[in-house]
Amino acid sequence: MNSNYYVTVKSNNRTGKVSMASIRDVARRAGVGVGTVSRVINGNGYVSADTKKKIEKAIEELEYTPNELARNLFRNKTGIVGILVPDVDHPFFSSYVRQTEAALYEVGYKTLISSTIGVSNREEEFLDMLDRNMVDGIIAGSHTLEGEKYLKRKHAIISFDRDFGPEIPMIGSDHVTGGRLAAEVLIRNKCKKVLNIFGVSPNIVANDKHTVLKKTLEKQGIEVVDMILEWNRFGHEDYWESARKVMETFDGIDGVFGTDQPVLNIMHLALKAGIKIPEELKIVTYDGTDISRLVYPEATSIRQNIKMLAELSANSVVDLIENRRPVPNKQIIPVELYQGQTTYPVDTAI
């Protein structure tokens, strides 16, 4: 092995100049070969207990720390995974990124995180970084690019909530069940006219919840009013303006469904207008992030298991990078109904 790892060693000379200790210095001090030191540092290959102690003592005496960049270059790796999401200020994506970053750190990877909202070329720039080996893999949770831009890459890519087909593994929640659960709550709460709030984008499997909700409600003779938000707009101001428009045209709506932020903005304005919840208006949110539990009344929610989604995303992209084991084409995580105070419990709904 011809790798040289360097670290700064505290200087004891009068000039104050700093000397550098290399892996060869550690090997000489311990009386072993460079390869043996490397095995101890990297934790692979057999080294006897006595030899390991000598090497560890030499490392301590020389205050030597392996240069991570040099080590990764030797392995033809960066040790970095890119995470792309629309907006890290969004409660769901904020939690997902935070927990994915923590999961990657546990298995020895750093993260490079980017919000793509409002910057159309960021997504493609990350793919170019993958081509240039500046990152080892990408978890793609933002989907503004055409699918071909992803499919032509032969690197480690995990898709979050977008189905690219068999070429790129996808991770997501069971949105079909999520939509059905939400519909059942609204049906049992005797809703007659439900507002269904969503954004439109091709191939995003998260849209399934809205499709299933609408079909299920309409089969029961319940009117569904679709409110389509501008795609890739996640700002608080955007949601607040949408909520204001709903309240201006509020006409017979007795149920609302959508992701946490837009629905909770509507709930805020409804309560301010004197509309009673759940007596006059039933609310069901999707995602079940912290904000759905901090409001009052506490929201009935379809909760995604963000922790499991994050850990699965992290482990799957590392599996691809390191060829540890095959990654399934689709990994779908269950959702659950959380009964809050914005609907009547399904067993006592009136």
Please give the span between the terminal C-alpha atoms of the chain, in angstroms, as a whole number.
74
Residue 12 within a domain: no
pLDDT of 222 above 80? yes
Residue 15 lies in a domain: no
CATH code assigned at 114 = 3.40.50.2300
pLDDT of residue 209: 96
In a domain, residue 342? The reply is no
Domain span at residue 201 reads 175-304
CATH number of the domain that residue 38 is part of: 1.10.260.40
In a domain, 138, yes or no: yes
What percentage of the chain reaches a pLDDT higher than 90?
A: 55
Sheet holding 282-287, edge to edge: 223-229, 193-199, 255-259, 282-287, 300-303, 336-338
Alpha-carbon distances, residue 257 vs 62, 178, 190, 293, 306 (angstroms): 62, 11, 14, 16, 20
Residues 71 and 154 in one domain: no
Residue 93 lies in a domain: yes
Give yes or no: residues 120 and 193 share one domain. Answer: no
Judge if 188 and 201 occupy the same domain.
Answer: yes
pLDDT at 146: 76
pLDDT tens for residues 35-79?
Answer: 898 888 777 778 899 999 999 898 888 888 766 655 555 556 788
91 cis-preceded (ω within 30 degrees of 0): no
- 143, 162 contact by CB (below 8 A): yes
3 state DSSP class of 174: coil
Q: Same domain, yes or no, for 179 and 259? A: yes
Q: pLDDT at residue 280 above 90?
A: yes
**Lowest pLDDT segment from 73-77, 105-109, 142-146, 164-168:** 73-77
Count of helix runs (H) and strand runs (E) in the chain: 13, 14
Q: Does residue 287 share a domain with residue 277?
A: yes
In this structure, the answer to whether residues 261 and 246 fall within a common structural domain is yes
Instruction: Give the number of domains in the chain.
Output: 3
Residue 343 lies in a domain: no
Same domain, 224 and 117: no
**Do 260 and 208 belong together in one domain?**
yes
pTM: 0.78
Looking at the fold, whether 186 and 300 belong to one and the same domain comes out as yes
The answer, yes or no, to whether residue 8 has pLDDT greater than 90, is: no
